[in-house]
Structure formats: structure tokens, C-alpha cells
Amino acid sequence: MKDRLLEIRDLTVSLKKKNSSIPIVKGIDMIIKRGEIAGLVGESGCGKSMTARSLMRIQPPSAIVDGSILWYEADGTSTDLTKLKEKELRKMCGPQIGMVFQEPMTSLNPMIRIGDQVAEALLIHKMAGSRREARDKVIRILKEVGIRDPELRYRSYPHELSGGMRQRVVIAMAMICEPKLLIADEPTTALDVTTEAQILKLIRQMCTTRNMSALVITHNMGVVSQLCDRVYVMYTGRILERAPVGEIFSKPLHPYTKGLLSSIPRIGSNPEYLTTIPGSIPETDQKTSGCEFCLRCSEDERRCFFEMPEETGYAEEHYVRCFAAQHRMEAENE
């Protein structure tokens, strides 16, 4: 247990709608170890951001959250974040858990200077004895995340910075209190490939130098391959496959995982014919008793429409929820 930092057990998030509720996250389990970067990957609308927001308790007011979110201390003792009062949780958000939100322009207040926004968390959590000390720490973190002329940018407004610089500022805001866990929700959205590579390198570097863990939410398997140690593949709020990153890329088991990997453009391939996953994600209020991916799956069986497969272990730390994959595993073991 001492190697664990965060453990999610049977997390379910539903949204109230008139006299019913719509499940968005469906009983997921997840473990993030100390110093590990975990990736939560899937198409837009799969419930990834709702999962992350539930960890910070900033989900919509209509959300109903069930399950456990256990935070582990170094001695192995744990605290269930879902049981904490709001005041107690606020003390953790910043010093223990930092979050990089999806769009930096909506995360930054256009009317407040960069330095004041980054320093706010230090002052709230009383991690700086004075505004002078807070200023020095902000300038230090701005320099650490690769912003040139940090003293000048300290007094800049968000609109005076490029997209890549704003993304670095958002990362600095999440890192200023030196958290143990960084949650990064689509940290490279709308960035060009060069800036994206720089941001990914920055996150990896800061995790290494600070012995920090991270949960990276993305729809881009290329980001996963560059950054993550472990991968959780999510579809319509359910984890369909989970494994170390090398195992996922060398031996993908679920048809959805294979579809995501085959959709990555490759150098030398014909750009006129990009591989796609046929169909689209079902509506959130569309109920099914079977596997939600069966309507888009090339390996579906009749039972897939009526029965949800149980999670099955393929190898050490490699698990999948798929009847076809289970049959392939049984055939390999014969």
C-alpha cells in the first residue's frame, strides 16, 4: 500500500435529470502509484473530465457521486476524499492535488495579472509569509516552467501571452504549492506539435524532479506513448482496458483500444486514407444491458448486446473487459 498515492474504487457519477439520473462514470477502479504518470484515454464525451472533476469535487451541482476515492499517506494510512467536508478538501486542493484545466484561456482571469493569479494559491494556503515572498516564489516557478523574462511576465495579462505560454502559466498555477498529484485535463489542447512536445517534456520533467504523480487525461494516444507509464482506456464512462503503456501498445486486447491505436497517423502512410472507428459514441441517456461498444465493434458477438463482460486479467497488471478478447486468451492458453 505504501507505493500507492490515490486509489479509486467503484466510482460512479450520475447527473440528475427530472425524475431520473443519467450515469456518466460507471463503476471505475483506478490506482495511481507514487511517482507514476497514469493516462486516462478515450474519445470526447467518454467521461474522462467528469472523473477528474469528481476527484477534486468540482463536478456539476446535479451530480451524484458514489464509491470511494482513497488518498494514501506515506505511512500507508488512507483518507476517503468523498467523505471530507468542503473545508477539509480545500486544504488538500493545492498543497496535495493540483489541476491543469483543459482550456487555459478560460482558466485564467483576463482582468488579473499573471503573477497575482499564480500567487493566489500561496496566499490562500498561507504558504508564503508575505506578498514579497509569494512574488519571489511565483517568479521562480514561472522560470521553472520555461517562461522567459518571468519578472516581465509576472505583470502581464493573459491576452499578452501566446497559447503555449498561457498553458505554462496554468501548469505553474497547479505546481506553485508543490502538490503530490497533478491532474492534467487535455494539457496540449489547441497547441501546435512543437509546443505540445515542450509541454509534455515539461510535465515529465517536473514529475521526475519533484517525485510527483500525475493523471493525464487525453484522447491522443500519441500523448500517452510519450508521457504515461500506465494507461486506462475509457469508453462511455467505463474502463475497458488497463495496462502498463508498453503492454497496451505491444498487445492491445480490446477492439476499442486497437481502434484508437490504428487512428494514429504514421509517417509514410497515405494521408488521404486515415483509419477511423466507425459510428459514434451513444447518447448518455441511451441505456443498454450489454457492452456499449458493440454497435461499433468489428468483433462483436450476440451476447455482447445483452451482457456486460467482466474484467479479465491477461497478464500481470493487464486487464480487459471484452468477450472476444477473453476467447483469444483462452485459445492462447490451450
Q: pLDDT (tens digit, 9 = 90+) per residue, 15-27?
A: 988 788 889 999 9
Say which residue the cell 501548469 belongs to: 171
pLDDT value for 164 = 87
Look up residue 45 and give its DSSP letter: T
Averaged pLDDT, 160-170: 90
pLDDT on residue 243: 96
Q: Are 164 and 146 in contact (CB under 8 A)?
A: no
pLDDT of residue 166 exceeding 80, the answer is yes
Q: Where does the pLDDT of residue 319 fall: very low under 50, low under 70, confident under 90, or very high at 90 and above?
A: very high
Helices (H), 95-250: 104-107, 114-124, 131-144, 150-154, 163-175, 193-210, 221-227, 245-250
Residue carrying C-alpha cell 517534456? 201
Measured N-to-C along each axis, helices 114-124 and 131-144 cross at an angle, to the nearest 10 degrees, of 120
Which CATH number fits the domain 4-96+179-333, given the four candidates 3.10.20.70, 3.40.50.300, 3.40.50.1980, 3.40.50.2300? 3.40.50.300
Phi, psi of 236, deg, nearest 5: 45, 45
The whole-number pLDDT of residue 264 equals 79
* CB atoms near residue 271 (< 10 Å): 6
pLDDT of residue 120: 92
Q: Could you report the per-residue pLDDT of 245-300, keeping only the tens digit for each? A: 999 999 999 999 999 998 877 766 666 677 788 888 888 777 778 899 998 998 88
Mean pLDDT on 55-68: 90
Q: What's the pLDDT score for residue 1?
A: 64
Q: Where are the domain boundaries for CATH 3.40.50.300 in the chain? A: 4-96+179-333, 97-178
Would the pLDDT of 231 be above 90? Answer: yes
Residue 50 has pLDDT above 90, yes or no: yes
Task: Quote the percentage of the chain above a pLDDT of 70.
Answer: 98
- Could you give the CA distance from residue 101 to residue 97 in angstroms, rounded to a whole number? 13
Long-range contacts, 326-333 (Cβ 8 Å, 24+): 328/253, 329/253
Inform me whether the pLDDT recorded for 72 exceeds 90. Answer: yes
Query: Residue 38: is it exposed, middle or buried by C-beta count within 10 angstroms (0-12/13-18/19+)?
Result: buried
Class at the top of the CATH hierarchy for domain 97-178? alpha beta
Task: Give Cα separations from 251 to 227, 243, 310, 316, 332 (angstroms).
Answer: 18, 10, 19, 13, 13
The position carrying cell 504549492 is 177
d(CA 313, CA 320): 7
Position 32 confidence tier, pLDDT thresholds 50, 70, 90 = very high
Is the CB of residue 10 less than 8 Å from the CB of residue 29? Answer: yes
Q: Residue 270: what pLDDT?
A: 66
Q: What is the mean pLDDT of residues 72-92?
A: 91
Task: Return the pLDDT at 184.
Answer: 93
Task: Average the pLDDT over 198-224 and give the result.
Answer: 91
pLDDT for residue 199: 86
pLDDT (average), residues 154-183? 92
The mean per-residue pLDDT over the stretch 152-160 comes to 95
Which range (78-82, 216-220, 270-274) has the least confidence?
270-274
Contact 14, 21 (CB under 8 A): yes
pLDDT at 113 over 70: yes
DSSP labels for 118-144? Answer: HHHHHHHTT-SSSHHHHHHHHHHHHHH
Please state whether the predicted TM-score (pTM) of the whole model is above 0.75: yes
pLDDT score recorded for residue 181:
96
Q: What is the arrangement of strands in the sheet containing 20-33, beginning at the earlier edge strand? A: 20-33, 4-17, 63-72, 78-80
